[in-house]
Homo-oligomer: A and B are copies of this chain.
Amino acid sequence: MANLPETAGPLYEKVKDYILDHIGSGAWGKDQRVPSEHELVSMLGVSRMTVHRALRELTSDGHLIRIQGVGTFVAPPKPYSTLIEIVDIASEIRARGARYRADIILLESLQPSQELLAAFDFATRKPVGHSMILHHENDMPVMIEERFVNSDLAPDYDKQDFSAVTTYDFLQKSTPLTEVEQVIAAITADEDTARMLALEAGAPCLLLHRRTWTGSTVATVNRFTYSSRYTLGSRYAPSAFR
């Protein structure tokens, strides 16, 4: 009988470690077959439910691929990709210990343009909420936030007091977010943008386009323009690795 690692913790964790060790050492390579539940039961001397739990968790972590009726296989290695978490700018600024302020430049309900209709995937013309807010760090403008909000999901968007509640907090409470699409680009600030962000003409700016969904309906279409004084970034520890 094979030996389980002597790490602490519950049995199914030891079974997970046993399997991860074999994958990590290369003994069980990519796409290769992992012993069946029944075989692991014989090899390790634990019950099938315990083996099953270990295999199920490793599968949801992306280490294994299981096909009912066929078997369990080592998953291809994780892509060397990373995730950037972008948080609410108000909390981001405050987290750095800086003073945060937001100026509401505009808050209205408007008839969407053709382009916006397409972004919302609307079949018929109906008004959407629209806001433009200038965010400051220590009274220095750092980001222009422009949001278009689906009025079906947040009908009173243009009647909120966003000097008291951030758009972020309001939207978090009113609409459950299910999906996000984002594009980041570098642009040269045009005259208006440069003026608002107190930049020299021609300064480079970070542009973040974002669409969010709740279910299959588009909830918001956003455009964030960051001053070149500002950087986006964070640190993220992928949980798929041990």
Contact = CB atoms under 8 A, between A and B. Distances in A.
A86 interface: yes
A7 interface: no
B88 A80 contact: yes
A210 B80 CA distance: 12
Contact of A178 (B83, B171, B182, B241): B241
Contact of A186 (B206, B233, B237, B238): B206
Contacts of A236: 83, 179-182
Given A83-B83, A87-B81, A88-B79, A238 B206 contact: no
B82 A237 contact: no
Contacts of A187: 186, 204, 228
A84 B84 contact: yes
A235 interface: yes
A184 interface: yes
Given A24-B176, A80-B171, A178-B237, A183 B232 contact: yes
Contact of A87 (B79, B171, B181): B79
B180 A238 contact: yes
Interface in A5-32: 24
A156 to B, nearest CB: 18
A178 B20 CA distance: 14
A185 B235 contact: no
10 contacts: A24-B176, A82-B85, A82-B182, A178-B241, A180-B235, A180-B238, A182-B233, A186-B186, A186-B228, A204-B205
